[in-house]
Structures are given as structure tokens and as C-alpha cells.
Amino acid sequence: MISAILLAAGESKRMGDFKQLLHLNGKTFVECCVENLLVAGLQEVFVVTGHRDAEVRQALAAYPVHFVFNANYKAGMSSSLQCGVAALAEKTTAIVIALADQPQLDAEIIQSVIAAFAQARPAIAVPVYDNRRGHPIVMDAKLKAEILALDPQQGLRQVVAAHQAETLFVNLPDDRILIDFDYPQEFQAYLQPRK
């Protein structure tokens, strides 16, 4: 079984607003992300919360997801990833790592990376557009112990670097895999009509 971990615990300091609850196409970012993961066929979605936990849970009350609270969310994204990985069931064979500031990653993009992973069975599958790496990343569940032991300062890069030879780079014709919304101007630019 492939499980997804949606990292939604951060404080959104650079955005100046709580981006998990910003709206895109009439839904909050976290709703968009969860819907995209579910439509992509993921049977199990873990949402890691932290800052404003109750509001994120409320926004997702109608969705069949599992919540994992990261009490140490101020320590950064690695701590949230570790919380999510620790909650995974034994039957999980692969992990999709998704970010709550990427509501534009639709089910088709997610399915493309999962399909490439399922066919080649690498340790890690990373989507690429124009030679630049993006998200979502798919990882073999055999890497769980390494993720749980990673150095928070280096984050997931440490695990990816250790498995460079076993990493599949999935070329996709879609620059949305590169976009995440850290600053308000990035989100406003995205909302403009695309050429």
C-alpha cells in the first residue's frame, strides 16, 4: 500500500498569513492537497499538523484522513516528516511526501510519479521539470528508519543524497511541480492568467 504524508504543520511566517487555510479555487490549500491525493488513488493520507492544529482539522473534517500532531513543529519540516513516518502502518510499502503549500499539484501529476515509481521500483522517485527537482517525492518504505534517524539540519536531502544511485528522476512537462507558495507575491503571481 502506498501512503501519503501531507506536511501541514508550519507557521507560514514568510507568507504573513496561514497558508494552509488560504483559498485556491474556492477551497483551502489543505483541502486541495488532500483531495488531489485521494483522487490520485492513495488509500491512506496522514496529515501532519502543528500550528493552528484545530483549524486544520476542522477544514478537513469531511475527509477520510488520519491526523498526526507534531508538538515539535517549530523545529522544522524534518520533525513533521518524522512524525508522519512514525505513524505509518507496517503494510505501507511506499510513501508519497506532499507539501501543504502546493495545492496546484493535481491528481494527474501525483499519479505520474507514483506510476513511474511502481514500474521501476527505485528507492526514491523525484519529479523533474527543465532539469529542476520538484514534488511530490515517492520513497520506498524501506527508508523509514533512515528518515526517522535523519539530521534535522540536513533534512530529507540527507536521505536522497545517500540513495542517489537508486533514485529515479521522472521528467514531467509541467512546471507546477516546482511551485510552492512561501511568499504572498508568489501566490498572487500564480493567480494571474498563465501564458
Cα(126)–Cα(181) distance, integer angstroms = 19
Cα(7)–Cα(167) distance, integer angstroms = 22
pTM of the entire predicted model: 0.93
Q: How confident is the model at residue 187 (pLDDT cuts 50, 70, 90)?
A: confident
Cα(159)–Cα(167) distance, integer angstroms = 11
Mean pLDDT of 116-136: 96
Residue 122, preceding bond cis, omega within 30 degrees? no
Cα(83)–Cα(80) distance, integer angstroms = 5
Mean pLDDT of 30-44: 96
Q: And the C-alpha cell for 70?
A: 507534531
> Could you read off the pLDDT of 74-109 as tens digits, one per residue?
888 899 999 999 999 999 999 999 999 999 999 999
Strand 44-49 relative to strand 2-8, pairing: parallel
The answer, yes or no, to whether residue 163 has pLDDT greater than 60, is: yes
The answer, yes or no, to whether residue 128 has pLDDT greater than 90, is: yes
The domains of the chain, with CATH numbers, are: 2-179 (3.90.550.10)
